[in-house]
Each structure stands twice: as structure tokens, then as C-alpha cells.
Structure 1
């Protein structure tokens, strides 16, 4: 296998060709044995990591509710000397990246979730939970009276912890099942990967997102079923928007000085997500995806690790190679999203439906024009 850094010269595939491939049942990522191995291998690793991430996010949401100094929030309730030593030595899962994704979602927002979090119902439910949590703590009660918006905003953030954890709980199982099917010979091409993702996300599309906490043995519902928040439209789509597309500029790579003008004024113009990030800085200090690449490096299937080691730089730039493979896999996930949200099946032969789909796909191509899509489509 010739890995991406060995491709010295390439010409981007015309986006019109990519649209035609989508209409023929293909994906944003071209089909090849090399791409297939990279995608299913890296998603297997990603699934292992997401399993750890989702458990910790849900633990923080459920068990660290309004804990003012959560020193041990990454320990999932199991604090031992060995775990503490491993934590200090960084021989652990980097849960900080999960929180980075949560904060990206919180900042960019999820429309229906935010509408509920801005409602009087949420305010009432949050206030009841806050009062129960602060019972017997006069100092905290005084803080709440002096700054009445502080703790409700904290509860709002806890809701995003829970929603992202519930989203990843579905996704990690989906990715691990993909690898199992690949090993059984059921996944033989990139379109098979997209179909697997599409079917499994479709099966969970209408799953309700709810959130409650137990305080002194009593349950307090923060997000009730009546809020009607669903997996696909209220978690998956906002996640893709916030993490795949927008995200946030990496500290130290651009100036946050408004006069420098290096960061777009409007959040909607942000293009710092997983589909746009330059893989080369991966491994550098202060670049959040480095944490994810390090976590995935520890869970690589042996066959994919062997391919990476056989490249030009081998171990030296494995995180960069992992990032390239990860971006390829995210274009497969994005393809599933494109197919799921299309006005008509992309393979339709009816002229009026093809015309509507073409306008829809052109919109996607414009948005992906500055992404890494051209880099993963060499000719």
C-alpha cells in the first residue's frame, strides 16, 4: 500500500466527477482496496476510543452534576493509585478531546436542543435540580442568589455532555460492527461502508434523547421525552455541523486578534472542522486532534499498523497518517449524511428528481470546495 505522503504529485479530481459518482451510488471517497482498509481499520480504532469517550461523557453528565471541583471526572468513579499514576504519565485515554467536541457543539449549537434549553420548562427543571443539589450548602446557595445565571448555564452544558454521549453510544457500536463485518467479508467496497453507516444511523434516527440525574436518591428530569429530541436531527446533524465543518481555530496556528482578521467574523463561516484540518500539524502541541490521533494509535488493527509502518516515515509521522485515514473515513460518514438528507434517492433516474438532487449536491460541493476532499481524490 502506498500511503498518502508518498503521493508526490496529484491533480484533484473534478468535483463534477464526484457528483456523478454520488449519483451512481458511490461515495465522496473513491473506492479502492487501500481506501477500504484505511477506512474500516481507522473506524475500528475510532470505535474503541468513542466507547471510552461516551462512557466518560455520560459519567460526567450523570455523576458529576454541579460538582464544583471535578478533580477526578476522568476516572469514571474508579479512583486508584495506579490509575492516578497512569493519568499523570499520560498513559490513558485523552478524555479532553471528547470535551473539546462537546464544547464545539455547545458553542455552535443544536437548533432544537437550544430552543428547549431557552424555554421556561428547562429553567424550571434546572432550578429544581440546582436547589436539590445545593441543599445544605449555604455558601453555594449564596453564590446562586448572587449569580442566578451561572448554574443554569452549567446545567445547559451538562445537557450537551449527555447528548453527545448518547450520540457516540450509537456510533461506537456502529463502527465496531463495521470492522466485524469487514473481517467476515461482508464489507467489500467503500459504498458498502456508507450503506452500513446509513442503515445503522437510520435505525437509530428517531431514538429519543433524554437526560435526568439522581440527587440524594431522587430523580430529576432535565431533558424529558416531551422535548422530542431525536438522535438524527438533534444530535447527529448538529454534530456534523459543529465538528466536521465548523469547529474552532487551533490555538497558536492563527491570531485571535480581531484586528489581524485571521478568524472569520461569523461562526457560520468557520472551516476548522475535521473535513478541513491540515493533517501536518497533527502531533504538535496545542492541536486538539493530536489527542484523538494518539488515542486511536493505541487501538489500531495490526494490519493497518503494519501498512503505516511500511510507509516512508513509518512510526515518525504515524499520527499524520492516522489523521489522513480518519479524514477519509469522515468523508464516508458525510456521504451517508448526504444520502440521508437528499430530497430524493441519489440514484434516481427521474429527470425532475435528478435535477433537484443535482442542485442539492452542488450546494454540498460548494461547501466542501476548500475541504480535504480534493486531497483524497487524486487522479
Structure 2
């Protein structure tokens, strides 16, 4: 069963899934672009995840973490590079963490808002502030302030754990392409899907050490796992919803340029216009600047054969990155399908079709038509 008889506007894309394809057309240029950009993304994500987990572990309840981007290695030389911006822009990783925290969703959000979580983290809070009378007073006067800082640490850690899985998936993809093992867009999608499925049940646990004692923040008893409790909320928050970028839309409530409801946001990676990349207040600019350091030669060659060559490099990187995110989204959608696509059971076929059409409804206003070259 395919979508051929469906009246859905994007029925063609649903048919692609049943034919073993993806959102992105399969051609050699798209393969080079997607693999090359994901390879560079893998290097950046590896740096991001290490810093996020460092902050979660070592800067726990540090209200003034001046050196949080240094991973514990502070030197005058690194300070100069930091001030000169000769460094990885960890601010973008924090932006993604805050977007996830704000949008929430899934069992992770439900757990950190539960009484069980509040009771367990109080032990860690008390241990951390026991010799800090001013912070003790702050905690007494504003009892929700420090717990909210702990919730933020949870998302630092959870996003770090997520990217710690994704980075090697993308880096090994690049090596597989160079070895001739990955040659098509479906190969890319299947590679990412296999990595997601393999890590699906990985537990998401988080503990901090204070004065030689370990305190569970996300204990094993919470039964949180990689795919459903971190990966899916990440896709929802970063790929779909996102946040409106300063300078692009008005935050004035009377202008009505931003939806009232969070679940109506369409500012994520799948919707974003690549052209504003490089402008002030556009967080993905930081990511594009980071990835440009790791662009492989075969992707540089593609950019050199365009009209502007690399004069608009960040925009080109963003366009390639957006294509790659549609491949990752394809892998996620296929990996979460309710039933096998080759099922002969009519009820299962109908359930799969409704599932795919639900995703397509969300992409009606996305950049999907613009990546079909």
C-alpha cells in the first residue's frame, strides 16, 4: 500500500518512503553535500557534547560559571583565543539545550516536574550549599530557584548524552562514504536509522559528585531512554519548533508575528530560511561558523563550482545542513513507524498511512519543496 490514492498534498513524499527513498532526492551531489556536512557536524557535536556534560557535572549549581566553556582547562592562551573567537561556539549548544528545556515534552519533562524528582534533588542541593550561608538564604526565600537550575543541568546532561551518540554516527558515516560503503541518500538514511535504533534503549542517567558522594539526579529507576525521552523531544524542539530569531520577526505581541501557542511554532531547522545566516541574533550562524573548520575537500569543491564560490560560505553550509536534517528526519520517521512498511495487514497499513500523513501535515510550510534540486 502506498499513498498514490491519497489526496494529501505531500503524498509523493510518502510514496518515497515506501519505495525506500527519503525526503531528499537521491543524486551524487546531494550525497556529497549531506555526507560532507554531517561529517563536519560530527566533529562539532563531539566538542559540544563534551562541554555540555562537563558543565552538567563540574559546574553543577555554580551560579557564576565564568569558565564553563573551557572544560576545566583554563590558560591565558585559551582566554585569548576565547576573546578572539578562535574557538568552538559552545553558545549554540546552550541555545539548543535551552530550547529543549523550554519546549519540554515526553517523560523527561514529566519526571523533572514530579514530586519524586523534587525530593531527590533536595539532597544534592543541601550538600552543595551546606557551607554557603548566602545561597542557603536564597534557597529559603526562593525555594524554586535552585531546583530550576538543576532542571537546566539535567538538559545540559541529557543533550550531551544524545550528541555523544550522534557524533560517532556522523563521523563513521563520513568514513563509510570515503570507503565506498555509502553511495546513495537511502544509504545515508539507513545508516542514521540503524544508529538510532541501536541506541534506542540506552538508559539516560545522571548523577553528580559532591564532596566525594554521588547524588542521583536522573536515577535508573526513572527508566528514561535515549530515543523516546531525549532524541524525539530533541527533534520536536530543534527540527520543528525552535524559537523565533531576534531581528527576523517582531516580539511585539500586537504585531501577531509569533504564535500564541508553543506547539504552533515553526522556527526549527526544517523551516528556517538559510539566507539570514550570518546576521546578528541568528543562533545557527554559530553552528555554521563551527562546521566550516571541518568541511571535507569534496564539499569545498561543490561550493567552488557555484556562482559566488565561497563568498557566501555560511549560507551554503546552512543549505547543505538543512538537506542533511531532512535525511535525519527521514531516518527518525522511518524508525518510529508503527508497523513495517511491507506489512500486508490492512489495519497496519492504514495506521502507517495516518502516521505518515500526520508528519506531512507538520511540514506543509517547511522548506521541503526548496531542497528538491
Query: Please, what TM-score do these two structures have when normalized by structure 2?
Result: 0.96
- Which string of whole-angstrom CA distances, capped at 9 and with x for unpartnered residues, describes residues 230-259 of structure 1? 000000000000000001000111111111
The answer to whether structure 1 residue 152 and structure 2 residue 140 are counterparts is: no
The structure 1 segments of at least 4 consecutive aligned residues displaced by more than 6 Å after TM superposition are none
Between 1 and 2, higher relative CO (CA 8 Å, sep ≥ 6) is seen in 1
Aligned match for 1:172, one of 156, 167, 172: 167
Classify the secondary structure of the residue corresponding to 1:313.
Answer: coil
Aligned match for 1:261, one of 242, 256, 262: 256
Q: Distance in 2 between matches of 1:341 and 1:372?
A: 22
The answer to whether structure 1 residue 102 and structure 2 residue 66 are counterparts is: no
Q: Distance in 2 between matches of 1:272 and 1:259?
A: 20
Classify the secondary structure of the residue corresponding to 1:181.
Answer: helix
Which stretch has the larger CA shift, 34-43 or 357-366?
Answer: 357-366
Identify the residue that residue 294 of structure 1 maps to in structure 2: 289
Identify the residue that residue 249 of structure 1 maps to in structure 2: 244
- Which string of whole-angstrom CA distances, capped at 9 and with x for unpartnered residues, describes residues 305-357 of structure 1? 12212211122111111111101111111111111111222344554433332
* 1:161-240 pair list within 5 angstroms: 161-240=156-235
Classify the secondary structure of the residue corresponding to 2:370.
Answer: coil
Q: Distance in 1 between matches of 2:88 and 2:344?
A: 48
The answer to whether structure 1 residue 345 and structure 2 residue 340 are counterparts is: yes
Structure 1 vs Structure 2 CA RMSD: 1.1
Q: Distance in 1 between matches of 2:336 and 2:311?
A: 40
Using the TM superposition, give the Cα deviation of residue 30 of structure 1 relative to its aligned residue in structure 2, in angstroms.
0.9
| Residue pair 2:247, 2:280 contacting (<8 A) in 1 also | no
The answer to whether structure 1 residue 17 and structure 2 residue 7 are counterparts is: no
Q: Distance in 2 between matches of 1:355 and 1:147?
A: 52
Q: Distance in 2 between matches of 1:110 and 1:51?
A: 25
Identify the residue that residue 36 of structure 1 maps to in structure 2: 31
Classify the secondary structure of the residue corresponding to 2:215.
Answer: strand
| Residue pair 2:23, 2:330 contacting (<8 A) in 1 also | yes
Q: Distance in 2 between matches of 1:43 and 1:166?
A: 18
* 1:309-324 pair list within 5 angstroms: 309-324=304-319
Is the alpha carbon distance of 1:223 and 1:131 closer, same or farther for their aligned partners in structure 2, counting shifts above 3 Å? same
Q: Distance in 2 between matches of 1:328 and 1:262?
A: 26
- Which string of whole-angstrom CA distances, capped at 9 and with x for unpartnered residues, describes residues 9-68 of structure 1? xxxxx7222211111111111100000000000000000000000000000000000111
Q: Distance in 2 between matches of 1:137 and 1:314?
A: 57
| Residue pair 1:25, 1:346 contacting (<8 A) in 2 also | no
Classify the secondary structure of the residue corresponding to 2:216.
Answer: strand
Identify the residue that residue 125 of structure 1 maps to in structure 2: 120
Which stretch has the larger CA shift, 114-123 or 269-278?
Answer: 114-123
Classify the secondary structure of the residue corresponding to 2:339.
Answer: coil
* Structure 1, gaps ≥5 residues long: 1-13
Q: Distance in 1 between matches of 2:224 and 2:110?
A: 11
Q: Distance in 2 between matches of 1:161 and 1:41?
A: 27
Query: Please, what TM-score do these two structures have when normalized by structure 1?
Result: 0.94
Q: Distance in 1 between matches of 2:111 and 2:188?
A: 34
Q: Distance in 2 between matches of 1:264 and 1:347?
A: 39
